[in-house]
A and B are shown apart, each in its own frame.
Chain A
Amino acid sequence: MIEVRELTKNYGPHKAVDRLSFSVKKGEVVGFLGPNGAGKTTTMKIITGFMPPSAGSVTVAGFDVFEDPIEVKKRIGYLPETPPVYGEMTVESYLKFVARLKGVEKSKLSAQVERAIEKTDLGSVRKRMIQNLSKGYRQRVGISQALVSEPEVLILDEPTVGLDPRQVAEVRKLIKDLAGHHTIILSTHILPEVQATCERIIIINRGRIAAEDSLDGLSRRMSGSARVHVRVVDMKDSVVGDLRSTPGVQGVVARGGGVIEIDTDGSKGITPKLAERVVTAGCGLLELREERINLEDVFLKLTTSEENQNKGATL
């Protein structure tokens, strides 16, 4: 449904998105995850045809965003970071306007507006002016606006920002309900959000894809892995290399104070083997502790390690 190939966006000398490629199948819900400034919003703006890429291509439902922008835009409902609402309009007249703008037929207009109001639970404020609504309600109007034309593709930039916990849950449920009928890309900083709603996760950092997997795959991959904390009296350089060469070890970091952190694939018997190596090296083992990694850590690890790499490259 959505094909993104080698997408690059430069803001002057600054590369916001760097050769990003991925594809989203029909009916799939994909979560964009990444720290601030990762390039999530930029990527979404390009997919929606809001702005052109510096290089690369995007096709939606077979239409190239820059050759057939109108065809693409007809199929997309987009919630930008700031909900694009007119303060001086009422919720209902605003939604009607958006539906007309998106080319919804006259005969279906009221029904679709009603459905959008119902799905986002805006019935109680439908006659109110948008400027008098609270931030959370405005966000809901923004979501409603994206849904009103019943588009095939939904691009939601941080859809649950500013909502109260009950609404967050409702919106997540809504997104789950929409899955299957709509193809959805949503961005967020919040891990539980993708866990709750998405089938697939794309972690973006500094304009590049740091990881891409199904939610199951990612958590399986991660739930298996474990981190081993080791504290020794006498840190020897040789022990770090020794540990690193142990099969099943993914990374070793030596910190100050004799602390070593070892990332493993969590395979059976690896922790005792590591203990053995430390002891054989004669460092004086003080402490050894195994810790399971959760998705939060993966996110931090993926995004920070790359940052360190980049720093290393520039130094």
Chain B
Amino acid sequence: MRGALVIAGKDLRNIFASPLFYVIAGVCCIAWTILFIVSVAAFLQPQMQMMSGADGMNLHFTVFAKHISLVNLVMIFAVAAISMRLFPDEKRQRTFDLLLTAPVTATDITLGKLIAGTVTAWALVLVSLLYPLSLVFWGHLDWGPLACSYIGLLLLVACYVAIDMFTSSLTQSTVVAVILALIFNVLLWFLGAAADASESPLQRQVFEHLNVSTHYVNFLKGNFSVSGLIFFATVVFFFSFLTQRVVESTRWR
């Protein structure tokens, strides 16, 4: 664990010192700002107000839900861009040799990378939280669903980090890492679609549990679901485990 924290600390320092992170953050903010302004403006249209009344719940579903979905979409790319360098950089600079001959385990290395990636990605998610919070002065914020959606978002983003960390451990090339990462993320979202295709009720149930969008929408609606928590935790654990195996196996090659 000590080793994991040392590695995470080093990675975090290097990520936050690199221009790449600020470019990613800048692009994210531009996308979020544009959509947020547009949807707030639409929300403030008189017809809109009359139709549904300007209470917090409505604000959540019309403006915040859209914002959170965009954050989710943007984070797929942002996390891929952040995580693509986790392992390829170590291999390219031969510093992987240093890690593998230091008194740390493959689990420490994996955990360190996971922590570094997750902290970075969560920092971006927290920046995106500033948008909904900026409306606090306007009043009528419904805190429950907002908090719940953000918990869901953080969990989901942690899944992306674990997946992208795994794909980056497979290769020396950052480009390959990004492409693999995007493919895996899309697969994660399509896994649930198999539920509709399957016949037997048992299969349906299994795939329903594996359906990211079910869990995600649950959190978005403000229902904190334990099964969702378990699902996201399982994904993180599963891909971290795979990464640990890959790190361990680099010795054998």
Contacts and interface: CB of A to CB of B under 8 A. Distances in A.
Interface of A: 48-52, 70-71, 73-74, 76, 78, 80, 82-89, 93, 97-98, 100-103, 145
Contacts of B6: 97, 100-101
A103 B6 CA distance: 10
5 contacts: A73-B101, A84-B93, A85-B95, A98-B102, A101-B104
Q: Is the interface of A mostly helix, strand, loop or mixed?
A: loop
B17 interface: yes
Given A51-B251, A52-B252, A97-B10, A86 B93 contact: yes
B35 to A, nearest CB: 33
Nearest to B15: A88
B28 interface: no
Interface string B69-96: 0000000000000000000000001111
B85 to A, nearest CB: 10
B94 A80 contact: yes
A50 B103 contact: no
B220 interface: no
Contacts of B9: 97, 100
Interface in B110-162: none
Nearest to B2: A103
6 smallest CB-CB distances across A and B, nearest first, come from A84-B98, A73-B103, A82-B94, A74-B103, A84-B95, A48-B101
Nearest to A77: B101
A103 B95 CA distance: 17
Interface in B234-251: 251
A52 B99 CA distance: 16
Nearest to B14: A88
A67 B251 CA distance: 15
Given A82-B94, A85-B93, 7 more contacts: A70-B105, A76-B101, A84-B94, A86-B10, A88-B14, A88-B18, A97-B6
A71 B105 CA distance: 11
Contacts of A88: 14, 17-18
Given A51-B251, A80-B94, A85-B95, A101 B3 contact: yes
B95 A50 contact: no
Contacts of B13: 93
Contacts of A98: 98, 102
Contacts of B3: 101
B97 interface: yes
A9 to B, nearest CB: 12
A205 to B, nearest CB: 25
Given A84-B94, A89-B14, A103-B2, A78 B101 contact: yes
